[in-house]
Amino acid sequence: MRWSYSCPHCESPLNPEDRVILRAEQGERRFMVGLHPQPGNYSVDLPPGEEMVPGTRWEFFCPVCDHSLVSELSEDLSELDLHSAGETHRVYFSRVAGEEATFVVSAEGMLKDYGIHTDRYLEHLVHAKYMR
């Protein structure tokens, strides 16, 4: 299955290859990261010598328009648009390193969650269908 991601602000494609490319920042640290496109797969490609220490919160940005991807639903979630099988969904994912929490929400409000830390965010996602 092919998952295509775009920025929810400028609609630019973010995974021209096999990784979703975002800019990550924490304080003075800034670098590009590659996220696996499959929801629930938490592998991350980092530049040599960089690490994301578990428990640290990162801000992700669109590398095209530089807009922050922090969600209005929770300060600990980022958001992207996912295009798959002719449908568009909103994807919310934890921006806390080491947390496994991803949510795919359709325009109708249907929710699919992935990861062992999803219970931390479910109350925020109850209203996700009204945010679209």
The per-residue pLDDT for range 82-122, each reduced to its tens digit, is 998 888 999 999 999 999 999 999 877 777 999 999 998 88
Between 72 and 111, whose confidence is greater? 72
pLDDT at 127 over 70: no
- Taking residue 83's Cβ as centre, other Cβ atoms within 10 Å add up to 14
**Contact criterion met (CB below 8 Å) for 23 and 60:** yes
Nearest to 73 by CA among 26, 111, 29: 111
- Taking residue 56's Cβ as centre, other Cβ atoms within 10 Å add up to 14
**Contact criterion met (CB below 8 Å) for 3 and 82:** yes
Could you give phi then psi for residue 80, rounded to 5 degrees?
-140, 165
Between 39 and 85, whose confidence is greater? 39
pLDDT at 41 over 90: yes
This prediction has a pTM of 0.90
Helix or strand or coil: residue 116? coil
Bridge partners for 45 per DSSP: 34
Q: Quick one: CA torsion of 102, 107, 111, 117, rounded to 10 degrees?
A: 20
- Write down the mean pLDDT value for the chain: 91
- Look at residue 68 in the predicted model and tell me its pLDDT: 98
